[in-house]
Each structure stands twice: as structure tokens, then as C-alpha cells.
Structure 1
Amino acid sequence: MFDIHVESAFWPEQSEPKNDTYVFVYTIRITNNGEQTAQLISRHWVITDGFGVSREVRGDGVVGMQPHIAPNETFEYSSTCPLSTPYGTMHGEYYCVDEQGGQFIVDIPQFLLVAATVVH
């Protein structure tokens, strides 16, 4: 029902590589390709750093909202992710509900978080 598109970028102004702090910004576009309005209720992220250490984040909605997304509409938001390594990955799930109260899960495909300093 939802199509997910992700773009990520290193945020050097907020990062401190000398202190092993690398901040990434990611923008997600969620497009409702279904036939009814659906609401994004909560999220679950798996964030893995360059050493393979993972942490999980769960929470209500996204960026403080639980948006209703009508058919053929797109909701877009940006957020940040700090890592202690200059590269890592994120993937996860959105938990949603449709107009009839039916619950469904939308997979968020894995995407890379890579500081420009490690790209050759």
C-alpha cells in the first residue's frame, strides 16, 4: 500500500569525527498507492554501525506526527541519526492502520549512512 523512498546524507556541520560522532540526515517519502487513507501509527528502526553493532529504536509516529496519508498522496519528513562510525545502515518498519481499522506493516528497506570521507 505504501511506497517508500529514502535519501540519506552525511551532516558534517553536526558531526565531530575526532570524537567519533558522525551525524546523518535522512529524508523519507511515503506514497500511498492504495485505495484508502491510512495512518502511520509507529515505527521500528534497526540501526547498525560500521562495527556491526545494532541498536533498535521504537516510537510513536514519525517526527512527532502520526500522519494520515490519502490515496495517491505523499508524506515526506527528515530526521537524523548519530553513529560512532563514519558508515552504517538503517532499516525498519512502519506500523499502520487503514480506514476500517485493519493493521498492516510497511517494510523500510535498508539504506546506507556513509560519510563522504570514507567514499573513494
Structure 2
Amino acid sequence: MNILFLSAAVLSLAVCLIHTFAGGRAIAVPLLKASDLKPVPKYVAYYCWHIVTIVLGMIAVMFLFAGLRPSSLDLGWVATALVASFCLLGLVVPPLKKQKYSHMPQGWLFLPIMLLGLIGGVV
């Protein structure tokens, strides 16, 4: 059993739930209510919202399997690579676009998961 991957699974699930419930109210609902957006970009963005929900859930599942089954180490590395890329994107884009992290904090949510995945992959 890999406690670090299991911890990453719990944090990943938390991020998925934050995205789904808090983010849904703050982002998805206003997106669908926006009357100034044309239907295609509005519904494509909404579809992407659901893709992100699925990916976040699957990352938690991958970390869970990697934590419970030593033979699933590759799943832990795949989940870590995904989380690392999301972390990097979320930490680099705000300064490049002159945005505030308070407006786009997602990268920071992935940082502890990435660290747990990296350490869990080598222990």
C-alpha cells in the first residue's frame, strides 16, 4: 500500500468535488445563463467543463489504484504527469496574462497532489 498515492487520491477527489459543486455554481451556471454568448461557444465550453470533471475523477481513481496495488505504479505516474501539467499551466498562465492568482487559483490546488505523486512514485 502506498500512503502517498492514497493521499493524492483523497486530495484529487477533493479537487474534483470543489470543481463540481463550488465551481459549478461559480462558473458553469453563469456560463449557461450568459445571454451574450453564442450557442456554440457556450455549449462547447460547458461540454469541456464536464470533460474536466471526468478527468479529475479519473485522476483520483488512478491514484487510488496506484495506492492500493503496487503493480499499478504506472497509473500513479500517469496521474502525476497529468496533475503536474495542470499545476504548471495554472502557475504559469496568470503571470503571463497579467492575471491574479486569486482569479485563477487552480494551479495551487494541484501542487500538493503533484508533490505527493512524485514522492509516492519513488518511495
TM-score range, shorter chain: under 0.3
Greater strand proportion = 1
TM-score computed with the length of structure 1 as normaliser: 0.26
TM-score computed with the length of structure 2 as normaliser: 0.26
